[in-house]
Each structure stands twice: as structure tokens, then as C-alpha cells.
Amino acid sequence: MNWIDRLERKYSRFAIKNLTKYLIIGTAFVFIISLFDDFRYIEALLTLEPSLVMKGQIWRLVTFVFVPFVGSFWIIFVLYIFYVFGTALERYWGSFRFNLYYFIGVLAAIVAAFLGEFWGGKVTSEFLYMSIFLAFAYLNPNYELLLFFIIPVKVKYLAWFDVVFTVLSIIFRPETRITALLSFTSFVVFFGKEVFDVYLLPSVKRLDRKRRRKKFKVIVSSVKTPEIVYTCCICGRTSKDHPELKFAYCFKCGSDYEYCQDHLKNHEHVIRR
């Protein structure tokens, strides 16, 4: 049992069920209300600003996850994708593990925000969405998604695009560099060991498997199976001379007497004493 299993046994009752739905509803609400002139600055009150958090605006540690990082038509597509992947992961993992995966990402984003105070940068929910997508793609690489609701494409290809985009963000987007770097935290915690064993050590494992198979073949080839010859006690025919015949023991006579298929049911039973 690993540490995630132990946490789940102790704290599963505290998990937020249907977390994806609440995140989508909150994000959609912020987006819609920001369209009105009286609330067009609401996003500025919800974003994660460490300097303002230190001044007492603690709510920003939570509310930044509801701030949309895209606008216009794209928000519909993003929320739809997040709903599909998020609910699928929650059904597969259960509420506690999904909560843990998501909130590890939130914690990493908060750490990135405070580190960004020294090196410059900002934090949005963009990479939180990407981490959910990356987990789904790893578990369901051949799942087909309708890109823009029209083009069918397997998510494993989009996942590689996700990884490349994140790496490029680390290199060329100073304002999101730290956030992009730490966005892999959830994925590494949940899948890091498995990825390392499967993808980073394949040559060692393949060599080891080849050695084991070669050794096994040598062992098998060196073992000679003794030839068993059956002889019918009535007609004297043997299984070696007549491989087309079937031989068996009579349950009444016992294993000391062997019969061919012609005499198995056509013989005088031997009385055992």
C-alpha cells in the first residue's frame, strides 16, 4: 500500500465529490459576470497576487482557480474539455484521488506565484487544466476527441503538443516560466515512478528480459522428457508402434493394467486381492 492509499483510507470522507462540476460552474459564473460593465474588474479581485495575499486577501489562494485564462468562444471549448477529462478521471480514480491530484497542482501553482514575486511572473489556472488533460491522456492515450467539435484526433497526440507547449513556455515565456515548470508536479507525483520504469529504463529491462529468455531456453533445451510407452495387456500393441491408438487404465482393474482403445471396454476384469 503506497502513501496515496493510506491517505485515501484516512481522509476519503473529506473529498469534494463532483469537483469538476463546481470548478466549471465557478469559472463560467466569473466569465459571465465579467461581461457586465459593473463587474468587468472582478477578475482582478480574484487572481493570485502574493503581495495582496500577504496583506490579508487570503481568498485569492482559492479564487484564482475560477479566473478564466481564455475568453470569447474559447471558454466554451476549454470548459467542455475540462468537464470530459475531469469527470472521467474522477470516475476512474474516485473523488479523493482526483481531489488530491488537482489540489497538488493548486499548491504547486501557489508556490510558483510566491516564487514569481522574486523572479517575476504570474499564475493562472491554465496549467491546472493542462495537468488534468495530461493525466487523462496518459491513462487513455487512444481516446478520440473531436477537436473544435469537428476533427477527430487521439488525445495522445494532443498530450505531446501539451508537453511541447509547456516546455516552450518554460523557455520563452518568462511570465509563466515557474508556473509551467511546476505544473508537472501532480503528474510526477502520480505517474513519475511508472514513467521512469517504463520509458526511461526500457533498454535495461529489455536486456534483462533477453537474458532471462535465453537462460530459460537453455534450461528447457537441456531437459529431456522421458518417453512413456503404453502396452495393451490383451493384444500386446504399444503406443510407440501404434501412435494412432489411444491407451488408458481400467478403473476396475487398476493402474497395473493398460488397455488399448479396442480392449478398454472389452476385456475380463482382473480381480485384485
Structurally, the chain folds into a number of domains equal to 2
Residue 218: predicted pLDDT: 39
Domain shared by 138 and 27, yes or no? yes
**Range(s) of the domain holding residue 240:** 224-272
Domain shared by 179 and 239, yes or no? no
Domain shared by 54 and 180, yes or no? yes
pLDDT digits (tens, 9 = 90+) for 218-271: 333 443 444 567 788 888 888 888 888 887 777 677 667 788 888 887 888 776
Check pLDDT > 70 for residue 126.
yes
Domain shared by 108 and 133, yes or no? yes
Examine the fold and report which residue of 193, 214, 235 is the final residue of a domain before the chain moves on.
Answer: 214
Examine the fold and report which residue of 168, 193, 214 is the final residue of a domain before the chain moves on.
Answer: 214
CA distance 193 to 191: 6
Domain shared by 75 and 206, yes or no? yes
Whether residue 154 contacts residue 209, with contact meaning beta carbons closer than 8 Å, is answered with no
Domain shared by 7 and 127, yes or no? yes
- The answer to whether position 121 is within a domain reads yes
CA distance 254 to 73: 84
pLDDT digits (tens, 9 = 90+) for 86-106: 888 888 888 999 999 999 999
Domain shared by 70 and 16, yes or no? yes
- The answer to whether position 230 is within a domain reads yes
DSSP, collapsed to helix, strand or coil, labels residue 247 as: strand
Domain shared by 51 and 129, yes or no? yes
Examine the fold and report which residue of 180, 214, 248 is the final residue of a domain before the chain moves on.
Answer: 214
Domain shared by 229 and 193, yes or no? no
Report the CATH number that the domain containing residue 66 is assigned in CATH.
1.20.1540
Domain shared by 98 and 201, yes or no? yes
Domain shared by 65 and 91, yes or no? yes
pLDDT digits (tens, 9 = 90+) for 142-182: 877 766 667 777 878 788 877 887 788 778 776 666 777 77
pLDDT digits (tens, 9 = 90+) for 32-79: 998 888 887 888 889 888 888 899 999 999 999 998 877 777 788 888
- The answer to whether position 132 is within a domain reads yes
- The answer to whether position 245 is within a domain reads yes
Which 8-state DSSP code applies to residue 265?
A: S
Domain shared by 245 and 206, yes or no? no
Residue 240: predicted pLDDT: 81
- The answer to whether position 219 is within a domain reads no
DSSP string over 40-76: TTHHHHHS--HHHHTTT-TTHHHHGGGS-SS-TTHHH
pTM score: 0.67
Rounded mean pLDDT, 9-24: 90
